[in-house]
Structure 1
Amino acid sequence: MTSSFPSDGNVASAYAEIWGPVYWGFCATLVLCGVSTLQGYHYFTRYNDKQFIRFLAGFILLLDFVSMALICQSAYYYMIPHYGSLAPLNAVTGELSAECLISAIITFISQMYFVYQLQIVGSQTRVASLMSFTTGLLGVVSLAGGIGCAAVMFIHPQSIFMDRNRSFIILAGINKAFGAGADVVATIAMCMFLKSADTGISGTSSLLRSLMHLVINRGLLVTFGQTLMFILFFTSTARLYWVAVHINTTKLYVNTFFAMLNARTSGQDAYSPHFSVGGFSSGRAETVVQRESSQEIEKFSELNSHNFGLDAIKVTTTSTVIEM
């Protein structure tokens, strides 16, 4: 598939038309990287989760920093030393190729963590297992497409921006399409399980609705990024709009990952009239809720890997036990 960039006539105008969207996308990436840094600081200074979760969060944050450094280097290469020249369009930089690989890894980690949460919330039911398997399968295929894209970019750097390599087109389509599919399935599944966990008790129902809104917003953001990237990649072959969206989609996954981890504090504060939080012991918080009708509910929050925004919740009534 061939795309023709304007190279004759007003070169300066053509240069601005091509790289303008990438520049503004780069500015947005800087802002999102700052937000993810702040969220990472907030998480590591306020929560003492299991080492596995802390390691995972630190690894994603590290990858985000490396990704940002590679994007900065690529932006410098195309816009500073070669300012006003369209020659660099003949090849993609090795830094941008490496960033593509890192993007696929971050997306995969975020999606697989969501799969893990599906298993926790779904309580190992057949439907939960099916949903988790589907999300995991779509995520693995998306990761394979992303790795393939990076490999093609390294092997055929001259066939990415202009005369696109056919393999690159196919693999990029697989990466984005299956990635969006995984996010859609995961979001629907999580909302289904949260809905089924509603006991009808006002405090619990409000908490679950808050969690559902958080999950839906996360799903909408990342799915929108993947879908927009997919559309622009195939419709704007003579422009680099897709590059601007690509470098920001990665940041959306990082920010939504930390947003769900950090939502625990806001969630507890929001429902403080309903929940009275007791002391902490060995990393566990026990919450006791008294309802006006004298029905007692015990809510145990465990600050470990069993959270998907708020703490893992175990709600016990006289007739129902729900584990999240």
Structure 2
Amino acid sequence: MSSIISSDGALGPTYVEIFGPVFWGFCATLVLCGVSTLQGYLYFTRYNDRTGIQVVAGIMLFLDFLSMGLICQSMYYYMLPHYGSLGPLSAVTRELSVECLISAIITFISQMYFVYQLRIGESMLLKSGGRAAWVMIHMTIILGAASLAGGVGCVAIMFTHPHSILMNRNRAFIILAGINKAFGAAADIVATIAMCLFLTGAETGIKRTSSLLRSLIHLVINRGLLVTFAQILMLVLFFASTTHLYWLAVHINTTKLYVNTFFAMLNARTSYLDTVSGPHISMGGLSSARSATVVHTASVDEVKKFSGMNHNSYTMDAIKVTTTSTVADI
């Protein structure tokens, strides 16, 4: 099996040592793509959200499938026609370059969906977090845009200097990749903190509402920790090793994590609705026969007016927790 020979004549890692981690990362990617497919199926068969939310969800699912196809093609190129040869590893495929662009777009969409949720409940967020909360919303937008710009820059370098990406990395590529991952992780951290402030501000002291909000906070924190850990791990591996492709194995899975957590946030609404009942709590935004019977302070016409649709259909782009003193959109 061929190996890389260093400048001092010592043998470097073999093909298997270099590309082995990418293969196992590819296996994990296949599993995560299957999970996102199931998540997407559950979403589109259970909910009838606003057209804008459905379009965004459809775009996320389409980009996920496209990303998976491009990864499969790249794996085929490196592992079958050129198996055991280190020559092809000196250049990145165009398919993998396009996949990196898709990854940056998916990450940005996922982060901006958090911003959208925060803007829905901006008044409550400002009440609980003061001006700092307003700053965090705009920081998330700026950091997310910077991460996207870094990702687009990386793709541009990958197309213009394909032989300076995987092994002998281009300096500009290293800087842009650092910007992409570092600012992406920062955007996720800020968005998670802002959402937790928002949910904390919705606390009313009512037992059922408090339990629901705690569950939502746990979901938001777990989502934030997962994607932030993936971004930081990829960044560390990228700078820690220049002769191995551990970072690439993490990169191809990060895209799937963003898609899965995006749909997990959407699909979690049904399970949380099932935990809430009682005369003082309603889940607005999701309009159904069940929710209409729970609301004692609003008429059916008011529920229909709020949702903009018939009360027998599901329409929800955010969870609205309504109590006698607080309204929180999630």
1:121-171 deviations in whole A, cap 9, x for unaligned? 232734443211000000000000000000100000000012110000000
Question: Normalization by structure 1: what TM-score?
Answer: 0.87
Conservation of the 8 A alpha-carbon contact between 1:232 and 1:242: yes
Is 1:47 the counterpart of 2:47 in the alignment? yes
1:256-276 deviations in whole A, cap 9, x for unaligned? 000000001111123357868
1:29-68 deviations in whole A, cap 9, x for unaligned? 0000000000000000110000100000000100000000
Alignment correspondent of 2:311? none
1:58-114 deviations in whole A, cap 9, x for unaligned? 001000000000000000000110011100111100000000000000000000010
Q: 1:130 to 1:287 in 2, by over 3 A?
A: farther
Alignment correspondent of 2:310? none
Q: 1:91 to 1:128 in 2, by over 3 A?
A: same
Amino acid at match of 2:4: P
Q: Which runs of 5+ in 1 are unaligned?
A: 291-295
Amino acid at match of 1:90: S
* Root-mean-square deviation over aligned CA pairs: 2.9
Conservation of the 8 A alpha-carbon contact between 1:7 and 1:14: no
Q: 1:162 to 1:50 in 2, by over 3 A?
A: same
Alignment correspondent of 1:60? 60
| Aligned equivalents of 1:305, 1:270: Cα separation in 2 | 17
Pairing 1:254-265 to 2, within 5 Å after superposition: 254-265=259-270
> What secondary structure is seen at the aligned counterpart in 2 of 1:92?
coil
> What secondary structure is seen at the aligned counterpart in 1 of 2:81?
coil
Task: Number of aligned residue pairs: give it.
Answer: 308
Amino acid at match of 2:97: S
Conservation of the 8 A alpha-carbon contact between 2:202 and 2:326: no
Alignment correspondent of 1:23? 23
Conservation of the 8 A alpha-carbon contact between 1:134 and 1:182: yes
Q: Which residue, out of 275, 294, 297, partners 1:288?
A: 294
Amino acid at match of 2:33: C
> What secondary structure is seen at the aligned counterpart in 2 of 1:6?
strand
| Aligned equivalents of 1:201, 1:157: Cα separation in 2 | 58
| Aligned equivalents of 1:265, 1:137: Cα separation in 2 | 32
Amino acid at match of 1:87: G
Alignment correspondent of 1:316? 323
1:252-297 deviations in whole A, cap 9, x for unaligned? 000000000000111112335786889x86899436379xxxxx89
> What secondary structure is seen at the aligned counterpart in 2 of 1:198?
coil
Conservation of the 8 A alpha-carbon contact between 1:53 and 1:304: no
> What secondary structure is seen at the aligned counterpart in 1 of 2:294?
strand
Is 1:6 the counterpart of 2:4 in the alignment? yes
Conservation of the 8 A alpha-carbon contact between 1:142 and 1:176: yes
Alignment correspondent of 1:293? none
> What secondary structure is seen at the aligned counterpart in 1 of 2:23?
helix
| Aligned equivalents of 1:146, 1:83: Cα separation in 2 | 29
Q: Which residue, out of 138, 143, 162, partners 1:138?
A: 143
| Aligned equivalents of 1:287, 1:163: Cα separation in 2 | 64
Alignment correspondent of 1:185? 190
Alignment correspondent of 1:194? 199
| Aligned equivalents of 2:221, 2:81: Cα separation in 1 | 43
Stretch deviating more after TM superposition (190-199 or 123-132)? 123-132
Q: 1:213 to 1:281 in 2, by over 3 A?
A: closer
Alpha-carbon offset, residue 120 of structure 1: 1.5
| Aligned equivalents of 1:12, 1:19: Cα separation in 2 | 13
Amino acid at match of 1:181: A
Q: 1:215 to 1:276 in 2, by over 3 A?
A: closer
Conservation of the 8 A alpha-carbon contact between 1:149 and 1:171: yes
| Aligned equivalents of 2:15, 2:53: Cα separation in 1 | 44
Conservation of the 8 A alpha-carbon contact between 2:287 and 2:316: no
Alignment correspondent of 2:108? 108
Question: Normalization by structure 2: what TM-score?
Answer: 0.86
